[in-house]
């Protein structure tokens, strides 16, 4: 029963964290339109720390605590096995929590000597790996289905939400990954030779990138 509750909470907190990532992906543009000129560059949006609404940061803080607790609980339950630590769900916990911690910036939005505010509500950049929690939603749903909790439902009733969760996971993961790649731009030192055709410049790498996107 406890595993079912933990799995359900994993799904709920993962949905919340992914939702905050999507929300924050729009926040730099809103900040730029209100405070900067229309020439505000995307690179500055990523690098500059921004003050976000406290409920968003509170959701991320509580989610980090829960993901960390869940990871330690499972790790200890498997006797600190390296094989378990390398499982996808464990690596997602580590990547997502670590990226949120690294993204935390300074605490200038808090009043002086307000340590609680500084701990709970740091200024933060929005570009993190928390969108990968979308895959954890799919895993949590599968674990919930296999636990037998949904056995009383009709097969069609179980199939429809499972398909919706799977589709949402795929779309969110691909869309967020492509957004991150577009914002980061080409890696340093990368160059691609293109061919001139009537439709413009093309190359094998470019076409592969468009197909994936």
Q: Is 32's pLDDT higher than 50?
A: no
Q: What is the mean pLDDT of residues 126-130?
A: 78
Least confident of 18-22, 30-34, 135-139: 30-34
If you average pLDDT over residues 67-96, what whole number do you get? Answer: 86
Please report the pLDDT score of residue 82 as a whole number: 87
Residue 51: predicted pLDDT: 59
- b/e per residue 82-108 (b: at least 16 CB within 10 A): eeeeeeebbebbeebbeebeebbeebe
Q: Mean of the pLDDT values across residues 7-18?
A: 90
Predicted pLDDT of residue 18: 93
**Would the pLDDT of 65 be above 70?**
yes
> Between residues 17 and 151, which one has the greater pLDDT?
17
Question: How confident is residue 36, by pLDDT bands cut at 50, 70 and 90?
Answer: very low
Mean pLDDT for 138-150 is: 83
Q: Where are the beta strands (DSSP E) in the chain?
A: 195-197, 200-202
What pLDDT was estimated at residue 205?
78
* Phi and psi torsions of 124, nearest 5°: -150, 155
Predicted TM-score (pTM) of this structure:
0.73
Higher pLDDT, 10 or 208: 10
Domain boundaries, the chain: 2-160
- Pick the more confident residue, 27 or 7: 7
Question: For residues 112 and 167, what is the distance between their CA atoms, to the nearest angstrom?
Answer: 46
According to the model, what pLDDT value does residue 14 have?
Answer: 92
pLDDT of res. 39: 39
Contact (Cβ atoms closer than 8 angstroms) between residue 122 and residue 56: no
Tens digit of pLDDT for each residue in 194-205? 777 777 778 887
The torsion of the CA quartet 17, 23, 28, 32, rounded to 10 degrees, works out to -160
So what's the pLDDT on residue 167? 93
């Amino acid at each position: 029963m406890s595993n079912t509750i933990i799995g359900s909470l994993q799904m709920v907190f993962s949905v919340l964290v992914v939702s905050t990532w999507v929300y924050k992906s729009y926040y730099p543009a809103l900040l730029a339109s209100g405070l900067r000129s229309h020439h505000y560059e995307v690179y500055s949006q990523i690098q500059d720390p921004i003050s976000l609404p406290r409920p968003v940061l509170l959701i991320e803080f509580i989610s980090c605590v829960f993901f960390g607790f869940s990871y330690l609980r499972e790790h200890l339950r498997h006797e600190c096995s390296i094989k378990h630590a390398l499982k996808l769900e464990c690596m997602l916990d580590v990547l997502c929590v670590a990226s949120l911690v690294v993204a935390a910036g300074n605490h200038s939005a808090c009043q002086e000597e307000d340590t609680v505010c500084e701990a709970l509500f740091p200024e933060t950049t929005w570009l993190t790996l928390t969108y990968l929690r979308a895959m954890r939603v799919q895993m949590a749903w599968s674990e919930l289905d296999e636990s037998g909790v949904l056995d009383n439902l009709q097969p069609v009733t179980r199939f429809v939400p499972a398909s919706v969760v799977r589709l949402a996971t795929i779309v969110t993961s691909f869309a967020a990954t492509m957004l991150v790649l577009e914002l980061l731009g080409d890696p340093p030192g990368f160059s691609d030779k293109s061919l001139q055709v009537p439709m413009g410049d093309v190359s094998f790498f470019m076409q592969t990138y468009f197909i994936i996107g």
